[in-house]
Chains A and B, each alone.
Chain A
């Protein structure tokens, strides 16, 4: 995945910073609570929500089961419609394909519609290294790019920024990327949006190459779909002469009709809208309308590995609505950057370790970045049982026996032995109760010490329950 995040500390360390940042926490709290309340209302409007959720889950599962078949069907349809399909096994291959395609046009600038897949492979950085400037055109993505920042949310990449911060970024940075911010720019949403509009318009009208992702790919017709709110994506998709779409292989759906389900569940789950303002669909190329050349880069990058995992593969159902982020109490406090991946929050905690493996500190810590409260599962429009996958991945990490896990395993084993011997347990409890006056309120040792940095240990009772029972009821 993206080189941007190499060397990230483990989640608890990264989260430590965020938890201490009052502005960040206030920004996140405000944004996530607003959207989660709206989502709940938008979902409650549909009395067949449960059926839609089940249908979405089923369509995705069936597709994943026969993924090879549908991808080949998609390739045939795209080719028939005048497009060219490329297969990329990993990030490096995808980046190379896209760079070669852009270079073949002779251009050194491209406009981009917000895309998780291209972020995942670090395409912008790669293009830059090859002398090609990639301009993000989604408003929030633009803010992140100008601020030389990282996205911290799937849908609202600049969720961690407030209006004042955005105004400052526009004022300071827009000029060096193109049209500068208007004089005396304030932090009202209308003025900020207008500044972005003017800045971007210049780019749309100049660009010869557009790069996008896609929310869905329809196998039967070879149609790609992007849903968005701003309309900037539609300009990227229609104005340039060459369009290159980089899409994860799991985004395919068999038929046009399947969209009926997702075009209802996605907007309500993500932006709490009944329908998203712009739905753009494109099929190959058409004379005198839209791009003359269309390339589809199908990206694997760890997806077939995830597919091979019976429990973990459900993560590939994800339609990137971000509802799970918005309800996650851990995301709300830790912020998106702490996840060290373009996929933050609950979905990031299960998808990233599957796509990248669990060898790095950050990836091995992600399955533990959850209290297993289950709020994410409740809201997921394709019913991904995120807690189940988290526990499953914990098994994998613990089994690999990395840092700290050997000690933990020994402790679990020892505790397991005591717990499997009630008389030993009773003796231990009795001893603990008898010596309770001697117990410290705080625990020694790493981890345990941090625990008791924030809490007092309870005073142990004079006798455990089993002794009370023996005395009073037998």
Chain B
């Protein structure tokens, strides 16, 4: 099978390791990966801040970049949700991409039909389901099932897991105090689990939480799910 990787602008510029991990993981599972270089950003930040007209060219660009691919895989629940839930409001051409876009865990579980991807990650992990993956995409138990199947990994339940971490795109800038209070509570909950890794499937949330963690110097690290799933005994995550 051949798929297009939609790496997302945040991953491209700030978290390339997530993109690399996604490529390695998919290739390990026998999937051929393309990276259409015409892709940039899905337009979510503009759209959610109220700049619909500024979003339009990015929607057009994204749809064209993935023309002809039956499966487009994106390691971000919120970008997948943007395409699937909000692109239809930009017309029929834009709407055509939605059904072909798969968030990474959806692709693994629903399309490839695997939950055990042969990963090895000997750490205690807690999982934060990002809001858009959780509510707009309905990822449900997929990420947890994938994590549970990872060899060596101990999955511990995050208290208040389904509460928003407070990132919310430009919300973090426009309402910094509330955003930080939400993030602090999320981190307190994550620390209470005793886990060493706070796992998420959306790097924008992890940018926010990871940034707070770095400031606090706690023994907890934010990590994208793809990097955990890409890690094997032969090539462990480092």
Contacts and interface: CB of A to CB of B under 8 A. Distances in A.
Interface in B190-218: 207-208, 210-212, 214-215
Interface in B34-48: 35, 37-41, 45-48
A369 interface: yes
A41 interface: no
A473 B145 CA distance: 30
B201 to A, nearest CB: 15
A422 interface: yes
Contacts of A452: 211
Contacts of B184: 454
B178 A333 contact: yes
A451 B210 CA distance: 13
A454 B37 contact: no
Interface string A53-97: 000000000000000000000000000000000000000000000
Contacts of A464: 12-13, 16
Interface string A331-367: 0011000000000000000000000000000000101
B58 A419 contact: yes
B118 interface: no
B186 to A, nearest CB: 9
B136 A374 contact: yes
Nearest to A395: B50
A370 B176 contact: no
A22 B11 CA distance: 36
B40 A330 contact: no
A330 B169 contact: no
A107 interface: no
A415 B49 CA distance: 13
Interface stretch (B17-25, B103-111, B149-157, B228-236): B17-25
Interface in B132-179: 132, 135-136, 162-164, 166-179
Contact of A371 (B15, B45, B182, B215): B182
A180 interface: no
Contacts of B13: 429, 432, 460, 464-465
A407 interface: no
B238 to A, nearest CB: 15
B55 to A, nearest CB: 8
Given A370-B168, A468-B16, A450 B211 contact: no
Chain A CB within 10 A, most for which of B54, B173, B178, B183: B178
B39 A422 contact: yes
A451 B182 contact: no
Contacts of B90: none
B176 A451 contact: yes
Interface stretch (A12-20, A212-220, A259-267): A12-20
Chain A CB within 10 A, most for which of B13, B131, B163: B13
B178 A416 contact: no
A456 interface: yes
A373 B131 contact: yes
A387 to B, nearest CB: 9
Given A391-B47, A413-B54, A456 B211 contact: yes
A11 B215 contact: no
A372 B12 contact: no
Contacts of A422: 37-40
Nearest to B135: A374
Given A333-B181, A373-B168, A447-B176, A463 B51 contact: no
B9 A391 contact: no
A408 B207 CA distance: 22
B203 to A, nearest CB: 9
Interface in A367-426: 367-375, 377-378, 391, 393-399, 408-409, 412-413, 415-416, 419-420, 422, 425
B119 interface: no
Nearest to B50: A394
A420 B40 contact: yes
Given A12-B176, A465-B20, A456 B214 contact: yes
Nearest to B168: A371
Chain B CB within 10 A, most for which of A391, A397, A458: A458
Given A416-B46, A448-B173, A465-B11, A409 B16 contact: no
Given A412-B54, A416-B58, A419-B9, A329 B16 contact: no
Interface of B: 7, 9, 11-17, 19-20, 23, 33, 35, 37-41, 45-52, 54-55, 57-58, 61, 131-132, 135-136, 162-164, 166-184, 207-208, 210-212, 214-215
- State the 3 A-B residue pairs at the shortest beta-carbon distance, nearest first: A371-B168, A394-B50, A455-B211
